[in-house]
Structure 1
Amino acid sequence: MEGASGIESALETAVASCDALGCPPRLAAAIRYAVFPGGARIRPRLCLAIAAGCGEPESPLAIATAASIELLHCASLVHDDLPCFDDAEVRRNRPSVHRAFDERIALLVGDALIVLAFQNVARAFAQSPDRLPNLVLALTRAVGAPGGIVAGQAWECEDSTPLEEYRRQKTGALFIAATVGGALSAGADPTPWRVLGETLGEAYQIADDIRDALATDEELGKPAGRDADLGRPTALAELGVQGAVKHFESLIARAAASIPECPGAEFLRELVDLEAQRLLPASANVGTSGTAIERLGPVTASARTLLLRTCGTAASMVPNITCTWPETRSFSAGGAPRYGTCTRLVFVTLLKSSPARWPEPPGPDDA
């Protein structure tokens, strides 16, 4: 996956345009505050992983698409934290945007980030206009109504909420945008990748429900237990903890199985398993079936991909990796062994068979 340097640089370039003369200074500062520092950046990393799997591991178009998806995600967080919805005081272990600035500025920040996301892809795809229309449509489906984040947020305003639709729209929509957008930015057919986005999105929402109930405020970077406080529909309310965990595991298995054959297919399957380990708190007491953690060991011909340090797990859980491939390069990686954060694997291995240098992973993430 593209690491922090590529994603953060693209986001910095996009946000810097708001520092131009004519943008009110408090609005410009609040936009930057909403985007930096980031959380796990899981959606843009997924987007870049798909682009790499489709044969364009360092495509500027993929990086721009990934950054725009993250801008849309940041916008949704700002709006979700507003007093009219969650009234959340904290986000990523610091005051939410409306608390740090004010409610009026926060509302405008969310709006500005949505517009900025589309400006960003429009600029990047100016030299590839044939790929732009389908990408824009994919992004609008992810944020609009029906079917997108706006619809998902609106379900919270209804007296009765269909849980599956709620999950798919509020959380799954941007995961679909990430997988479909990654394929489109690489000039590939997005159809085979849609199921992966749908399934990962649902799994992520269930994990979020579990974390909200079982994790601490410090692990989440925001107040825990808000779903129960607000009476929201959750997987735990429907299935209980063990039922939710079991359903999460089945979704992770389905997501891994849905990955179409491509140069990076095995790497993507490993990554799905490892990301699953990061998503659930230790208190869930679960290890996903056949996780990549248990399978990590010597690099074999069946993998023929690299093992990246993007995979979320406590460093103490990662065994030593012995590379059996000739002419490889290894890079040491840091990262504090904190459960519930995305720490980095000890080694990243670049295989001689790789057609191009695969992107570097991000650093440790906030909860």
Structure 2
Amino acid sequence: MDLSGRIESAISRAIAEGQAGAAPPKLASALDYALSPGGARIRPRICLSVALACGDGQPELADAAAVAIELIHSASLVHDDMPCFDNADLRRGKPALHKAYGEPLALLTGDSLIVAGFEVLARAAHHDPQRAIELIRILGVRTGMPYGICAGQGWESEDKIDLSAYHRAKTGALFIAATSMGAVAAGQEAGPWEELGDRIGEAFQVADDLKDALLDEAEMGKPAGQDAANSRPSAVAELGVAGAVQRFKDILSGAIASIPSCPGEAQLAQMVRVMSERLIPEPARQAAE
């Protein structure tokens, strides 16, 4: 199945709905700028892959869940890049939204994307109201406090950082949302799927630390060397490049082992393996050999 086409079609519908009616033209344009062209769409891809592995009995709900997660993720990027946080000039190889549209519209775009994420789920609720309520609950938990991306950003303002809680909230939260929401959309319980999302999020964080340390701005499409510049916790700083790569491999093995029994278990395991291994930058592979 062409997941990319399914994801982009669902996101395009969400953008069109967000720009409908008498929407302020500049804000509507900024919304499109924040979402397209997108990145790898890793989180919605994971969400739909889990739903498919579990039977995908309610594809409309699964699509809504995948879109909602991507909308929240995009909102977090818009807000993270603003001067009050990372003050980044680039995102995905083009000017950060606050550079292209100004800070007021960047703030409003991020806020609009968050609201749209929950609206997308509410709009699909008629397909299965009980599942939709659970999807909204999960997205709320993984967006806000104390376990969501807002908490993750909040840890950066603390004098003493709980590193595990920081990484689990800032990076892991939406991966946990992706696996658990994919399962719920397909009629499964969320709990057994949380470990998979947690481990994928941890692997993603290690890969991101390696990219930040080893790639340049042109290769990343965003500022590089930010962990060292901002004295942030990093797997590379703690373990070195080779140690970080080994840590990544250990996490990936644990992630695959944690996949609950389901009809598409083997295919899902292969997807997680291939997707995760692509995250490691080539200089890291060479350094670990």
TM-score, scaled relative to structure 1: 0.76
Aligned to 2:93: 93
Separation (CA, whole Å) in 2 of partners of 1:255 and 1:156: 27
Q: CA deviation at 1:220?
A: 1.1
Paired residue type of 1:174: L
Deviation digits for residues 109-156 of structure 1 (CA, Å, limit 9, x no counterpart): 110000000000100122311112211110001100111000000111
Paired residue type of 1:215: L
Deviation digits for residues 36-71 of structure 1 (CA, Å, limit 9, x no counterpart): 110000000000000001011771110111011000
Aligned to 1:339: none
- For the Cα contact (< 8 Å) 1:2–1:49, is it kept in 2? no
* Residues 1:3 and 2:3 are matched in the alignment: yes
Separation (CA, whole Å) in 1 of partners of 2:129 and 2:286: 46
Aligned to 1:311: none
Structure 2 spans left out of the alignment, 5+ residues: none
Residue identity over aligned pairs, in percent, reads: 51
Aligned to 1:150: 150
Matches within 5 A, 1:285-304: 285=285
Q: CA deviation at 1:23?
A: 1.7
- For the Cα contact (< 8 Å) 1:180–1:194, is it kept in 2? yes
Give the structure with the higher percent helix.
Answer: 2
Matches within 5 A, 1:204-353: 204-285=204-285
Separation (CA, whole Å) in 1 of partners of 2:132 and 2:139: 11
Aligned to 1:51: 51
Higher mean C-alpha displacement, 241-250 vs 30-39? 241-250
Q: CA deviation at 1:287?
A: 10
Paired residue type of 2:233: P
Separation (CA, whole Å) in 2 of partners of 1:104 and 1:230: 25
Paired residue type of 1:192: P
Q: CA deviation at 1:192?
A: 1.6
Aligned to 2:119: 119
Q: CA deviation at 1:18?
A: 2.4
Deviation digits for residues 257-277 of structure 1 (CA, Å, limit 9, x no counterpart): 011121211111111221222
Question: Larger Rg: 1 or 2?
Answer: 1
Aligned to 1:35: 35
Separation (CA, whole Å) in 1 of partners of 2:19 and 2:56: 31
- For the Cα contact (< 8 Å) 1:168–1:201, is it kept in 2? yes
Separation (CA, whole Å) in 2 of partners of 1:287 and 1:49: 32
Stretches of 4+ moved more than 2 A in 1?
Answer: none
Separation (CA, whole Å) in 2 of partners of 1:234 and 1:166: 11
2:278 partner SS? helix
In the comparison of the two structures, how many residue pairs are matched?
289
Structure 1 spans left out of the alignment, 5+ residues: 289-367
- For the Cα contact (< 8 Å) 1:163–1:234, is it kept in 2? no
Separation (CA, whole Å) in 2 of partners of 1:241 and 1:195: 25
Separation (CA, whole Å) in 2 of partners of 1:209 and 1:276: 14
